[in-house]
Chain A
């Protein structure tokens, strides 16, 4: 991981300076002009930092790690595209921004993971996001599920956030330093996503009859895609062996316990009876997707494919 001290030199070229109102350093230590609207870019790991390390030849993932990063990155990318659709459509302006923030967090994680994965095949994050075909995506089915109503989006986000939290928490200890660094950055953001979706699960369940009916229906719609998140395969077995990754099944107990606590607080556990909800076949990690992904990709990729190399 890049030490903050070393960034100073690359700052101008690498993009912190692109924040037009950014005043790097200014105001950070409580000077007199600091105000509630002070803006600083902060010093977190960004995809640009990873790309720079790749260019300098400082990091390169093994093939296994790249494939693993591709899976995790695709999860975030597809979910970000889904969540972005809420912008200007959420029930309230405040929720519009909240979902937009979560989408951008997910996109940020995806950019880091895809940038790193791409180093194994000499591809950029954009090559991977815009110029792969449906069967080349490695995201799980849950992430491509349609937004539905607000309750469906919240139910999907609830599952995703609790899964991602357990995953990133363990990946902060990855033997691959870049994976560990991306996970550490993502972990705090996903922690907030957990809180956001849990708050809404509680409110929808305890709100009106209508909101409760909708959140119950929502969980019944998205729960069939839970099992796939926790499926082990040869790749995850090798990565768990080397310490670079984890077996997805090892996250399940904590996921069940924490989601179970919220669902029970919301008084939904008995009504949902989750153990009895049949599970879908999955296959996303092998590139087998539901009918939804094709449409999503068409919309996400059309501009980049229509105008290759365009920038704005």
Chain B
């Protein structure tokens, strides 16, 4: 096979496939659960790759794929300010309250 100079100028540029997050619903009535991530060139192929990677042992009935960069996540360093505040606030739980006399269906 001959390579013309024009072809050499046209070197295949390495564009890595983008990252996608995969959510799988294991059966009707349950929510989609994050199963992992994968690389794919576009959404249609991401769905197919997800099917091949994450449902090959009968794990799911529905798949969502989301571009990884579309997900904003909480900062692991601000765990304290983000998640510690609810601790000790047991009045936010139903069990904190005593059941009133004569109230049905509780």
Contacts and interface: CB of A to CB of B under 8 A. Distances in A.
Interface in B12-48: 12, 17, 23-30, 32-35, 38-41, 44-45, 48
Interface stretch (A38-46, A121-129, A170-178): A38-46
Nearest to A44: B58
B39 A36 contact: no
Contact of B60 (A30, A36, A95): A36
A237 interface: no
Interface string A188-220: 000010011001000100001110000000000
A36 B49 contact: no
Nearest to A95: B49
B10 interface: yes
A39 B53 contact: no
Interface string A129-144: 0000000000000000
Interface residues of A, number: 28
A30 B49 contact: no
Contacts, number: 69
Given A41-B58, A93-B39, A209-B10, A30 B30 contact: yes
Contacts of A95: 49
B52 A36 contact: no
A82 B101 CA distance: 75
A83 to B, nearest CB: 13
Nearest to A19: B57
8 A-B pairs with least C-beta separation: A36-B33, A94-B49, A36-B35, A36-B24, A39-B57, A30-B27, A98-B52, A40-B58
Interface of B: 7, 10, 12, 17, 23-30, 32-35, 38-41, 44-45, 48-49, 51-54, 56-60
Interface of A: 27-30, 34-42, 92-95, 97-98, 101, 192, 195-196, 199, 203, 208-210
